[in-house]
Amino acid sequence: MPTEKENKVRIDYSSISGTYDKYRSYPQGLIKRIIQFGEIREGTRVLDLGCGTGNVSSRLKELVSVEVISADKSISMLEAAVAKGLEVICADADYVNMPFEENSFNAVIAAYVIQHINNLELLFAECHRVLGEGFLVLLTSSHKQIESQHPVISEFFPGTVEIEKARFTDIPQIYELLRAVGFTDISHEEVHVEGIPIDLRYLEQVKNKFVSTYHLIPQSEFEEGVKRLEAFIEGKDVTEYREWRGSLVRGRKAV
């Protein structure tokens, strides 16, 4: 029987790879914290799971001398990653075993990926299998953060809160799943992702549905949210910012 998560709407990332690469990136400070949190050092072999267009992979390689394999199921996304000089592999993290031997990596990173995964226990078990001694590091949002500090701002799109909370597994449940497949020393911390200026550029990003959630709400609801956002921007003489905060979660595999 399909689980509730298996019934969620699937998003065709091949059709939005162009806007994704234009709008979705992470600041250097966050990538540095991921490196520290995952204890990633020179010579580490890293799997960037659900790499998209390779923004995290490329920043990793800029900051520390590591070998990165960038994996995603979208060919269009991977073509953009290849153009950045990255080593890529096409792999679907849902339902199937990853095409890697046991103990192939010293770190696995998944940045805003797990909300797209139907069977998280299988995914985490596969991450545990392909890891040697090292950490799985997840960047995600807690349910509390979704309500107040998330790139889809509930002030303008209130209907997205319950959609996001249904997609994102909350932190306590992530702990349970990681323990169930053998991870130890599990911990998490809140991180600043970025300050979001609510300005005309942000409006353009929203109109281009730069966050996958906008593809999951009715078009009429999306258009109403855009109108609220436009009115908010027009009514401000000074640009206001909203803080996007996320959560880093890690689990260790010891061999």
Q: With respect to residue 225, please indicate whether it lies within any of the assigned structural domains.
A: no
pLDDT of residue 20: 59
User: Would you say 116 and 74 are in contact if contact means Cβ atoms under 8 Å apart?
Assistant: no
User: Would you say 149 and 243 are in contact if contact means Cβ atoms under 8 Å apart?
Assistant: yes
pLDDT of residue 4: 39
Range of the structural domain that residue 44 is part of:
5-141+168-195+245-253
Measured between alpha carbons, how far is 242 from 244 in angstroms, rounded to an integer?
6
According to DSSP, the residues that pair with 191 across neighbouring strands are 246
Q: With respect to residue 185, please indicate whether it lies within any of the assigned structural domains.
A: yes
Q: With respect to residue 55, please indicate whether it lies within any of the assigned structural domains.
A: yes
- Count up the domains in the chain and report the number: 1
pLDDT (tens place) for every residue of the chain, 255 residues total: 333 344 344 555 555 555 556 666 789 999 999 999 999 999 999 999 999 999 999 999 999 999 999 999 989 899 999 999 999 999 887 766 788 999 999 999 999 999 989 899 999 999 999 999 999 999 999 999 999 888 788 889 999 999 999 999 999 999 999 999 999 999 999 999 999 999 999 999 999 888 888 989 999 999 999 999 999 999 999 999 999 999 999 999 987
Q: With respect to residue 161, please indicate whether it lies within any of the assigned structural domains.
A: no
Q: With respect to residue 230, please indicate whether it lies within any of the assigned structural domains.
A: no
Q: With respect to residue 81, please indicate whether it lies within any of the assigned structural domains.
A: yes
Task: Identify residue 255 by its one-letter amino acid code.
Answer: V
Measured between alpha carbons, how far is 255 from 253 in angstroms, rounded to an integer?
7
**What tokens appear for 86 in the block?**
């990255």
pLDDT of residue 192: 94
Exposure string over 66-98, b if 16+ CB within 10 A, otherwise e: bebbbbbbbebbbebbeeeebebeebebeeeeb
pLDDT of residue 8: 46
Measured between alpha carbons, how far is 29 from 205 in angstroms, rounded to an integer?
22
CATH code for position 111: 3.40.50.150
pLDDT of residue 212: 82
Q: Which residue has the tokens 């497949």?
A: 181
H or E stretch at 174:
helix 171-180
Strands of 105-111's sheet in order across: 87-90, 67-72, 45-49, 105-111, 131-140, 240-253, 184-198
- The angle subtended at Cα 4 by Cα 136 and Cα 210, nearest 5°, is 65
The whole-model pTM stands at 0.90
Measured between alpha carbons, how far is 7 from 3 in angstroms, rounded to an integer?
7
Q: With respect to residue 223, please indicate whether it lies within any of the assigned structural domains.
A: no
Q: With respect to residue 234, please indicate whether it lies within any of the assigned structural domains.
A: no
With 0-12 / 13-18 / 19 or more C-beta atoms within 10 angstroms meaning exposed / middle / buried, residue 167 is: buried
Packing angle, helices 171-180 and 120-130, rounded to 10? 50
Torsions phi, psi for 132 (to 5 deg) = -85, -145
pLDDT of residue 151: 77
Measured between alpha carbons, how far is 157 from 28 in angstroms, rounded to an integer?
29
According to DSSP, the residues that pair with 240 across neighbouring strands are 198
